[in-house]
Amino acid sequence: MMNKRAVLATLLLSATAHAGGLGRPNQMSARGVGMGGAWVAFVDDATAVWFNPAAMTEIDPQVQVGAEVVVGPRSYTPVADDGTRGAPQEATVFAPVPALGGVGRFTYNDRPSWFTLGGGVWNTYGGQVSYPKTNMPALDSTQDAVIEAQVGTGLRLSDKFSIGASFRFGIGLFAVQGTRMPYDSDLSASGIGVSHLWSLHFRPTSKVKVGVVWRAPMNLTTTGSGTVDGASGLERVSVEHEQQWPQSAALGVGLQATPELRLATQLDWVQWSTVKALVVKLPGSGNPDQIYREDWRDSWTVRLGAEYAVSKAVAVRAGGYYDTEAVIDRSKERQYVDSNKIGLAAGGSFRIGGKWRIDAAVDYIIPRTHTVKQNTPTTPDYERNKAPGDYRGTLVTIEASVARVF
């Protein structure tokens, strides 16, 4: 019994480690995605609740409904210690992700208040991936994600300066299906957590905007159950796993270069280095917690974006970014493809009658192959790579939204 439980813990750990690798570097806002994610300074839709709630003081009241479709083909070619290369193992991430939000402002004596409220629901971190079953020992499907409902406020302190904050309520989702590791398994868990974020919005001149946002970490304890099918038959087990979603910060600067042209740049930081180890608890099993060293590192993203107003009704956007990896080679497995990434994006907007707005964008991460070196007979255990081999993948994100402006 103890061996089966220990193997189960290892199985769960492998499933959760993909969180850094599946974090989408450009997401949520069709308008922001089109500018390469350089959106903290210029955000002007309902996603300001996440990107920079202080900027809501300059946003027209609106309701927004949107969705994104994420498509991510990937492959892993294993390499044994003797250099033998296995057959490529391929999968494609496919995830439709809805998003909705709104911004509203009170009035006093027919004058708009300096106090603005907003809210929204979206997937901020994580994802899921499934590989075809081969009847070989493997993780076939994993999910580690959080859906957040957020309520935020922006307060205008002067004509040039605003502050903002959002309360974050998260629902964590965790699941894994495995084959012959050494037992078949089907496990799932969920949990809730809370966090917050703070932001500033500053206009030093009529043509320049500066945005700053800091997001606190969110930790969620997921609990659930599932089954393992081993030598003694099908057995139901309990599972606990703590999701560690990191703190992050961003600094953005926007320039209204001409009446038609807006330019933006942004620097993002995500503190994945807080993931020193992953812990899986097995309540009631009589076994100690299973603790595994990970030692991820912080990721940094540099972004550039532009928007050009073709007319009062039509605008086009383009942007790009460079995003550093969070998961070190020693911790990589086929459940994620994480490496230094270059992304390109484009999008546009169309206004109908001055009150309705349609936004769309596409983001594309340039494919690349990342090789995790094979271990040697003299490689110490604490330095051995989990899964040596070639990792290759890309990610295509398609965003669309419809907004009603009041």
pLDDT at 214: 98
pLDDT at 14: 38
Model-level pTM? 0.90
Q: What is the pLDDT of residues 289-335, one digit of tens each?
A: 667 778 899 999 999 999 999 999 999 999 999 999 999 888 887 77
Note the maximum CA span of the chain: 79
Q: Domains along the chain?
A: 2-405 (2.40.160.60)
pLDDT at 9: 41
Work out the pLDDT band at 401, boundaries 50, 70, 90.
very high
The Cα–Cα gap between 389 and 376 comes to: 13
